[in-house]
């Protein structure tokens, strides 16, 4: 899942309880048709922001979540989505937020995308009451797409290629300051290769040092991996069709350092997206196409907590479920969502166009 950082101990009993709840939810998701009314489902949460598209999502718990989107909008809930507080940074109305990472209900880092100075990073330590702009891109050739954190202090952000290589920003103080990493350990980009700022999941981390970067738009879709927090990278081809600026890998999710999922396709409405999902069991050295992928383009993916085999993928035409580690997928909902994120207490959230936010309910 995307790295919404959660630090601090939870009692073993709470983890066991969450695991039991998750097992019951997975069982209900795969229930026979006669039991469909008992299945978990997306329960929409009214945000009052129908003009905003939320592609940034950070789920902290079943009660707390942050969303970020167009018109410089950031919302936060601490009561399970019953109410939302507009905590947008002042003066950000012209920005497009595409990724947000939250440490808890008070601390979060949000990324605005775009060429040159449109790419910016803000941080809050008081639940969005105030924000500090910690990075403004000075290079008109750079376009930042996603960010991720390994822990409360260490994180990365990625830009589309500059001078033939993807550019990586690094922070060691929780997003309060950023520096561009050297590119000596970054493989050369393909012609036309880029990341997709579609769900905040084109750059994801798992564990203290491992991070993966998803690409498309070139002859081949690829996944790049770094085991040293972005200093050196290896690139492998992904079996998701590319060859067009609208095609490639849009989102990644890792449940540990070795087991990962990739989803994507062609984001243009009505265009076919064969082989829209793949999986890895060796940290991304080899990616294998799903035997039965989602039927259409998917822009977001997340592992269900406390499960080794279940995950959700979302896109404009619906939500798909796998219960076998990504080998086969089936559609379980037809609502439009761009991104999805889950927490250890089964706080699975999804967000998308027209201010849509939902939580998985049983």
Q: Which CATH number fits the domain that encloses residue 176?
A: 2.130.10.10
Three-class DSSP category at 195: coil
Using CA atoms, how far residue 217 sits from 70, 160, 190, 264, in Å, is 23, 11, 9, 11
Q: Which of 212, 137, 149 is CA-nearest to residue 179?
A: 137
Q: What pLDDT tens digit does each residue of the chain (362 aa) get?
A: 344 443 233 323 333 344 444 555 555 554 444 344 456 799 999 999 999 999 999 999 999 999 999 999 999 999 999 999 999 999 999 999 999 999 999 999 999 999 999 999 999 999 999 999 999 999 999 999 999 999 999 999 999 999 999 999 999 999 999 999 999 999 999 999 999 999 999 999 999 999 999 999 999 999 999 999 999 999 999 999 999 999 999 999 999 999 999 999 999 999 999 999 999 999 999 999 999 999 999 999 999 999 999 999 999 999 999 999 999 999 999 999 999 999 999 899 999 999 999 999 97
| Entry field: residues in the chain | 362
* 248 domain-assigned: yes
* 137 domain-assigned: yes
* 258 domain-assigned: yes
The span from the CA of 248 to the CA of 232, in Å, is 23
* 5 domain-assigned: no
* 158 domain-assigned: yes
* 180 domain-assigned: yes
* 183 domain-assigned: yes
Q: Which of 299, 297, 192, 298 is CA-nearest to residue 244?
A: 192
* 7 domain-assigned: no
Question: Rounded to 5 degrees, what are φ and ψ at 327?
Answer: -70, -45
Which range marks the domain in which residue 215 is found? 12-361
| 258: CB partners within 8 A, 6+ apart | 280, 281, 282, 283
Number of folded domains in the chain? 1
């Amino acid at each position: 899942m995307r790295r919404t950082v959660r630090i601090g101990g939870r009692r073993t009993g709470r983890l066991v309880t969450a695991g039991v709840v998750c097992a019951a939810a997975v069982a209900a998701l795969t229930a026979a048709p006669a039991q469909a009314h008992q299945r978990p489902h997306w329960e929409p949460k009214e945000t009052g922001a129908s003009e905003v598209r939320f592609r940034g999502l950070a789920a902290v718990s079943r009660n707390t979540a942050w969303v970020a989107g167009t018109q410089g909008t950031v919302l936060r809930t601490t009561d399970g989505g019953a109410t939302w507080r507009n905590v947008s940074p002042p003066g950000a109305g012209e920005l497009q937020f595409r990724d947000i990472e939250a440490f808890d209900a008070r601390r979060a880092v949000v990324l605005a995308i775009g060429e040159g100075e449109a790419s910016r990073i803000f941080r809050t330590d008081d639940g969005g009451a105030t924000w500090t702009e910690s990075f403004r891109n000075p290079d008109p050739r750079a376009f930042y797409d996603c960010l991720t954190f390994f822990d409360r202090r260490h994180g990365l952000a990625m830009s589309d290629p500059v001078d033939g290589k993807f550019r990586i920003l690094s922070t060691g103080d929780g997003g309060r300051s950023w520096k561009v990493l050297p590119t000596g350990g970054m493989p050369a980009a393909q012609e036309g290769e880029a990341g997709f700022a579609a769900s905040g999941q084109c750059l994801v981390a798992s564990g203290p040092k491992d991070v993966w970067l998803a690409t498309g738009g070139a002859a081949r879709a690829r996944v790049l991996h770094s085991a040293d927090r972005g200093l050196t990278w290896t690139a492998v081809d992904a079996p998701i069709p590319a060859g067009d600026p609208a095609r490639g890998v849009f989102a990644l999710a890792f449940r540990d350092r070795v087991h990962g999922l990739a989803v994507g396709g062609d984001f243009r409405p009505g265009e076919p997206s064969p082989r829209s999902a793949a999986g890895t069991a060796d940290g991304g050295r080899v990616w294998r196409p799903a035997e039965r992928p989602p039927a259409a383009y998917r822009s977001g993916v997340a592992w269900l907590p406390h499960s080794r085999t279940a995950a959700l993928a979302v896109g404009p035409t619906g939500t798909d479920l796998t219960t076998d580690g990504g080998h086969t997928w089936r559609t379980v909902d037809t609502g439009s969502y761009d991104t999805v994120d889950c927490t250890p207490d089964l706080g699975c959230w999804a967000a998308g166009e027209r201010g849509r936010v939902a939580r998985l309910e049983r």
